[in-house]
Amino acid sequence: MGFTTLGLNDRIIKGVHAAGYTVPTPIQSMAIQPALEGRDIIGCAQTGTGKTAAFVLPVLQRLMSEEESNPKSRAIRALVVTPTRELAHQVNEAVTTYGKFINLRSVCIYGGVGMENQLHRLRRGADIVIATPGRLLDHMERGSISLKEIRILVLDEADRMLDMGFINDVRRIIKATPAERQTMLFSATISKEITDLASSILRNPHSVEVGEKRNPAETIKQHFYSINQESKADLLLHMIEAEKMQSVLVFSRTKHGADKICKRLDRSGIKAAAIHSNRSQSQRQRSLDGFKEGKFRVLVATDIAARGIDVDGISHVINYDIPHDAESYIHRIGRTGRAGANGTSCTFVSRDERHHLKRIEHFTRTQVELEPFPGFVPRKREAHSMPDKPARHKPGFPIAKRAFGEKKGHGKKNGFGKKKRRSGSVVFSTTPRKRKGNPSQKIDSFSSDHSWSNY
Ligand code: AMP
């Protein structure tokens, strides 16, 4: 896909091609179109991802269209605030390079150098100012710059600006710009401070994110509950009601599981819809729309189906089954706590899912606290695969679990057709049987891990 598909003007594309770029980087593909539409943007991206062009190109195009409709205006209409003068320089160079074939002027303003040159350039007039916070405030105090006509404000490397102690300066600058503006905020990390800032200055932002993300947003409160597999459904119902959850996304590992959870919720009077790859596109869309509109309180999804879920205001993500890879965990819980809002994630962990927890800990480099949920404290020992119904227990014999689909009998054949017996008691093998028939029981994911559980 080239730049032509992003809705950019020919003269801007010419500038981009002159810079030697033919294919947009992922952040450019994700951010340019919504930015051209005038949407606020929150971008999580590091230097090196092409983020500068992701905001500079829409800025140029939006100002250029205005310029064409009002050729006389030469007020500062776009402001880019950066933490360092090096970055300010880089952004200014990008503006000059990509804007080679359009008639817009930019001025770069930073401290550590004399004022005269900057004052002279400002007097000549500029459409775009790229500035570091301290020197920009100096100019504002002197009256040599006015931000009253700003239409687009960009905060670049916002996390660095906050680390450098510029938060109050940044807030003063933002206050001097009109409330009616487009704001784009880019940051390599999304900390609590960044989300606080974002929620106070962005309006319904489009969120873009590139690169490997190891840490979930700090606005997400994460819980991990130790629970028996067969008690998960009860815990889910209890939590939704007891905690008055309103907009809940539940993740199931299998399509069959998703349907089953959904039916169970419906039976208990909690309106729910399922979304997975066995459902048609129109069914999925109906579920998603219903969830967005609040018709369904719960959406039960598998990982694949969840890839397209971009719903604002999800209060809770519940991992009914723990994901088998840590990236999916980050992706799943990232459906809540978006753009500065608070969110909660709850992950149900049965005994035989605990090793997946280790992967999450390793990936996020954090130690997870596995808590019991009051009233749902798991039994001390739980065998590997938990069936729906509690296994029958003969007094005097150890508890043996029958895997789903196994027939009652005096001994069970293991995967190789041999009966296993140990000291008179029956020991059931946990080797998963090959499933015939219902394909909906298959895992709805790209993963090649074919161990499976039932609900
Ligand atoms: P940035 O993350 O904006 O600092 O950009 C990192 C580097 O990628 C800079 O040297 C840019 O010139 C370059 N760059 C930006 N966009 C593209 C693109 N679409 N194709 C190739 N290089 C690019």
pLDDT tens digit sequence for 53-104: 999 999 999 999 877 666 666 799 999 999 988 889 989 999 999 999 999 9
N residues, the chain: 455
Q: Is the pLDDT of residue 146 over 80?
A: yes
Residue whose CA is at the smallest distance from ligand 1 atom 1: 50
Higher-confidence residue of 200 and 304: namely: 200
pLDDT tens, residue by residue, 94-142 = 999 999 999 999 999 999 889 999 999 999 999 999 999 999 999 999 9
Question: Ligand 1 centre and the CA of 137: distance in Å?
Answer: 30
Question: Ligand 1 centre and the CA of 187: distance in Å?
Answer: 16
Residue whose CA is at the smallest distance from ligand 1 atom 19: 24
Spatial contact of 347 and 225, defined as CB atoms under 8 Å apart: yes
- Can you give the pLDDT at residue 49? 80
Question: Ligand 1 centre and the CA of 194: distance in Å?
Answer: 24
DSSP 368-389: --EEEPTT-PPPS---SSPPSS
Higher-confidence residue of 1 and 279: namely: 279
- Top mutation candidate among 52, 56, 184 for ligand 1, by most atoms within 8 Å of CB: 52
Q: Which atom of ligand 1 is nearest to the CA of 19?
A: 12
The stretches of 188-347 forming alpha helices (DSSP H) are 192-201, 232-242, 255-267, 281-292, 303-306, 326-333
Please give the distance of CA 26 from its chain centroid, rounded to a whole number.
15
**From the CA atom positions of the chain, what is the Rg in Å?**
28
Question: Ligand 1 centre and the CA of 94: distance in Å?
Answer: 9
* Binding site membership of 82 for ligand 1 (Cβ less than 6 Å): no
Q: Which atom of ligand 1 is nearest to the CA of 3?
A: 19
* Binding site membership of 247 for ligand 1 (Cβ less than 6 Å): no
Question: Ligand 1 centre and the CA of 106: distance in Å?
Answer: 20
* Binding site membership of 21 for ligand 1 (Cβ less than 6 Å): yes
* Binding site membership of 53 for ligand 1 (Cβ less than 6 Å): yes
Give the pLDDT band (50/70/90) at residue 415.
very low
Tell which phi-psi region holds residue 122, choosing left (phi > 0), alpha (psi between -120 and 50) or beta.
Answer: alpha
User: Is pTM beyond 0.85 here?
Assistant: no
Beta bridge pairs of residue 371: 225
Question: Ligand 1 centre and the CA of 49: distance in Å?
Answer: 6
The residue type of 238 is H
**Which one, of 147, 203, 133, 205, lies nearest residue 178 by Cα?**
147
Spatial contact of 274 and 444, defined as CB atoms under 8 Å apart: no
Helix, strand, coil tally for the chain in percent (to 5): 40, 15, 45
* Binding site membership of 257 for ligand 1 (Cβ less than 6 Å): no
Burial of 337 (0-12, 13-18, 19+ CB in 10 A): buried
Lowest mean pLDDT segment, chosen from 141-150, 153-162, 343-352, 377-386: 377-386
- Top mutation candidate among 3, 17, 22, 25 for ligand 1, by most atoms within 8 Å of CB: 25
- Can you give the pLDDT at residue 204? 93
CB atoms closer than 10 angstroms to residue 325: 17
Mean pLDDT for all residues in the chain: 81
* Binding site membership of 47 for ligand 1 (Cβ less than 6 Å): yes
- Can you give the pLDDT at residue 326? 81
- Can you give the pLDDT at residue 46? 72
Spatial contact of 253 and 445, defined as CB atoms under 8 Å apart: yes
* Binding site membership of 49 for ligand 1 (Cβ less than 6 Å): yes
CATH number of 220-371: 3.40.50.300
Question: Ligand 1 centre and the CA of 78: distance in Å?
Answer: 21
Question: Ligand 1 centre and the CA of 375: distance in Å?
Answer: 54
Higher-confidence residue of 438 and 33: namely: 33
* Binding site membership of 51 for ligand 1 (Cβ less than 6 Å): yes
Q: Is the pLDDT of residue 208 over 80?
A: yes
Lowest mean pLDDT segment, chosen from 59-63, 141-145, 437-441: 437-441
Q: Do domains 3-210 and 220-371 have the same CATH topology?
A: yes
- What average pLDDT does this structure show over 21-32? 92
* Binding site membership of 8 for ligand 1 (Cβ less than 6 Å): no
pLDDT tens, residue by residue, 314-355 = 999 999 999 987 878 887 888 887 655 788 999 999 998 998
- Can you give the pLDDT at residue 363? 81
The domains of the chain are located at 3-210, 220-371, 395-450
* Binding site membership of 24 for ligand 1 (Cβ less than 6 Å): yes
* Binding site membership of 29 for ligand 1 (Cβ less than 6 Å): no
* Binding site membership of 387 for ligand 1 (Cβ less than 6 Å): no
Q: Is the pLDDT of residue 168 over 50?
A: yes
Spatial contact of 230 and 387, defined as CB atoms under 8 Å apart: yes
Q: Which CATH number fits domain 3-210: 3.40.50.300, 1.10.340.30, 3.30.420.40, 3.40.50.2300?
A: 3.40.50.300
The two structure tokens encoding residue 350: 């049965």
* Binding site membership of 340 for ligand 1 (Cβ less than 6 Å): no
**Which one, of 382, 383, 387, lies nearest residue 404 by Cα?**
387
- Looking from the CA of 254 toward its CB, the CA atoms found within 13 Å total 16
Packing angle of the helix pair 85-98, 10-18 (nearest 10 deg): 120
DSSP state letter for 98: H
